[in-house]
Structure 1
């Protein structure tokens, strides 16, 4: 399991670690581009016989630099990021608190006062990684100058999908536009979110399609409004389901956005359980039906489409 160490600048009361390879980046989503960076760092660490560490940040720098009208949502929370880094063989995740003071450091001071405290033998990062506010002087091409031969620098080139750079921003856009297939391809895995099962209005039960109502964390990024083929992890078991992200507009136009899931072949009461939702495939948009019969007929078609999808993909 990846060890998590939280840091704040200036770094105090910190015991210098053994020599190690350090991969730098925010790594939101830990997508295929991020994986390429970490896998390159892991290979180097294995060759040198030293541990692998990641230097990342919290919160996202945009929180410090911009005035946000709503909370910034992430593709991966810190705990999710740590779990993914564990799978990639990372020994330690250093989480640097991103503050105005840190943002104002010169690149040389950042290397001297932050990077060197981690005792790196090699530093690995993506080609577009920045470690300061000025991209002209805090880019990866300049890092060797600031290293002053104290550590080696490895720059990992751009990772693309259909000739487009894979990035966290592109993946968020794909999710917002319902293209979870594209998001999953660029992530290199099925996108997941978490939540807590709470009481709802029980309309699904009355329609013959009982749903769980999922309260989702404010900081997690949800796909756009629509109906999706999903899998839901309850305790240690995954179940097929069809999920609705929407406002239940058939029953009125002023409802808040909710996440409701009809779990196929499942009839237990599970209020209070924490769940993981894997967003496999977009089925259709949210539709306002004139009558209940039309909605029920559509739900039957959604169930057929969901079962066919998972049968065809064997996921």
Structure 2
């Protein structure tokens, strides 16, 4: 049975009767690089006949120690990350609260007072994973020294594509650029977000392109401003659509950012429905049109382009 266990340093009363393989990382996005780390842990766990556990953190360290101008948005929320990890064969997720006390630990203290509490037979992490307060001495190449033969260490090398290292930083950059091709390539799956359908201005209906206005979670990262070909799941049914992330600049300046989806061949009332959005393809940027007729003509072209994209993938 899959479990999510919350931890807070100092650790007390952890019931861990048997050894296990422990994989370390924050794993925002659970991209192909992360997947390689998890699957290495899964292979070792299967070979040893042990369970596979992940030690991760909440929130991201930058939330605690940096003055952020806006909330940090994640590629995968905690729930989505857990779902993907469990699908990859993880049995247990330890969500460690990231605090000042935890961050202040020296590497040897982290191993003795955190890792050893989890009874690791093997500890697995990516080549660039850091732990403890002194990052000069808290890298993976030195973990075997701190282990003192109490567990084995497995280091997973960098995973790259034609553009370099696959990583959360590059995925966030590609998302902001609307480059879904690279986002989805590095994730190894189609990027998804969630939301709830809420009332909007109903302007799209008057134009002949009614839209579902999506209220998205504050901490969930969206692609950059633009028009996209998407799929949207409503009550477990999938539909094609074209999505706008933007400010509807044709209708005025200084408007709020909205997510609106014209669902193709769909005409039901769905206010209050929870939806999942798959972001497949960037169509174009947001444009301020001279009038409604020009906007309608462009929307008709977007619709044709969306059908063409899904027909050909």
Q: Same fold (TM over 0.5)?
A: yes
Q: Distance in 1 between matches of 2:158 and 2:73?
A: 24
State the alpha-carbon separation in 1 of the partners of residues 132 and 174 from structure 2.
Answer: 28
Q: Which residue of 2 aligns with 1:85?
A: 85
Q: Which residue of 1 aligns with 2:71?
A: 71
Give the number of aligned pairs: 313
CA shift digits 1:51-88 (9 cap, x unpaired): 00000000001112211111100000110001101110
Partner of 2:252: 252
CA deviations on 1:82-103 (whole Å, 9 max, x unpaired) are 1101110100010000011100
1:58 aligns with 58
Runs of 4+ residues deviating >3 angstroms: none
Match for residue 224 of structure 1?
224
> 2:247, 2:163 → 1: CA distance?
36
Alignment of 1:23-172 (within 5 A): 23-172=23-172
Secondary structure of 1:39's aligned partner: helix
Counterpart residue number, 1:280: 280
CA deviation after TM superposition for structure 1 residue 163, in Å: 4.8
| Residue 205 of structure 1 pairs with residue 205 of structure 2 | yes
Query: Kindly tell me: are residues 201 and 27 of structure 1, through their superposed partners in 2, closer, same or farther at Cα, counting changes over 3 Å?
Result: same
How many angstroms does 1:135 deviate by? 2.1
Give CA-to-partner distance per residue, 1:18-55, whole Å, 9 cap, x none: 21100000000000000000000000000000000000
Q: CA deviation at 1:12?
A: 1.9
Structure 2: how far apart are the matches of 1:89 and 1:262?
A: 37
Q: Aligned partners of 2:70, 2:200: CA distance in 1, in Å?
A: 25
Shift of 1:211: 0.3
Q: CA deviation at 1:17?
A: 4.0
- Specify every segment of 5 or more residues in structure 1 that has no aligned partner in the other structure, as ranges: none
CA distance in 2, matches of 1:194, 1:132: 34
In the TM superposition, what is the alpha-carbon distance from 1:16 to its structure 2 partner? 2.4
Distance 1:155 1:205, change over 3 A: same
Partners of 2:31 and 2:84 lie apart in 1 by: 10
- Aligned partner of 1:291 in structure 2 is 291
CA shift digits 1:104-125 (9 cap, x unpaired): 0001111111111111100000
Per the normalisation by structure 1, the TM-score is 0.98
Q: Deviations over 1:240-272 (max 9, x none)?
A: 100000000000011100000000111110100
Distance 1:74 1:134 in 2: 26
Helix, strand or coil at the partner of 1:12: coil
Residue 117 of structure 1 aligns to a residue in which SS? Answer: helix
